[in-house]
Amino acid sequence: MSVPTVIIHRDADVLAKAVAARVVVRAVDAQSARGSAHLVLTGGTVGIATLAEIAASPARDAVDWRAVDLWWGDERFLPSGDAERNETGARKALLDHLDLAPERVHVMRGPDSGMTVEEAADAYAEELRRAARPGDHVPAPVFDLTMLGMGPDGHVASLFPGMPALYDTRPVVAVHGSPKPPPTRISLTLPVIRNSAEVWVIAAGEEKAEAVRAALSESGPMPVPAAGARGGSRTLFLLDRAAASKIPSS
């Protein structure tokens, strides 16, 4: 696993703009190397703001969006179109503004699919398995980029401190009893996240500062899930000044 690199921006607005620019470059680089790209999206305030900045950027047209597979790190188990779903926010901020191949937008299903949350998690795992390439070490593609927001408790995706999902070796799990509402969710697990080429942890705000400090320390993923979020070739902690305020100076 790669050692995290910390990059600090002035405030949350600048952070979103900077991350958006990085996403475009990462997608273009992946397509130049292989003809396609696999990107994992995140929700949250900065995550959705980042997607809106991509939509507003003329540079977005450098990406062949029909050759991009879009995935989610987690989703609230709510009906399609619910305002609380990460997918809903992503569609409004970015996806509805792009020429995408619908079959390459990999949505985690909600209760309106007729599935239980366990069945929906299994269905997503099967979708990941079908997208895996020969030589992949887990039953999922090697994501070119996984973007993760981080909560004040250090959670990433819907992997919360002390919960059994942190030990799970399956690629996707159903989450019950989330301490952050809604309580029922679907999440990628750490083995799939760590199988990504690049992992970016994105955080803004002073309330995230202690979790950022812990995630960059020797803490393990059980108390601080973000401490286990690492990419194979590159890990970035993309922060605003407030979120970076408790990182020890070197």
Residues 25-61: tens digit of each pLDDT: 999 999 999 999 999 999 999 999 999 999 999 999 9
Residues 192-230: tens digit of each pLDDT: 999 999 999 999 999 999 999 999 997 889 999 999 999
pTM assigned to the model: 0.96
Q: How crowded is residue 169: how many other Cβ atoms within 10 Å of its Cβ?
A: 10
Residue with tokens 């942190």: 166
Task: Indicate the burial class of 135 (C-beta count within 10 angstroms; 0-12, 13-18, 19 or more).
Answer: exposed
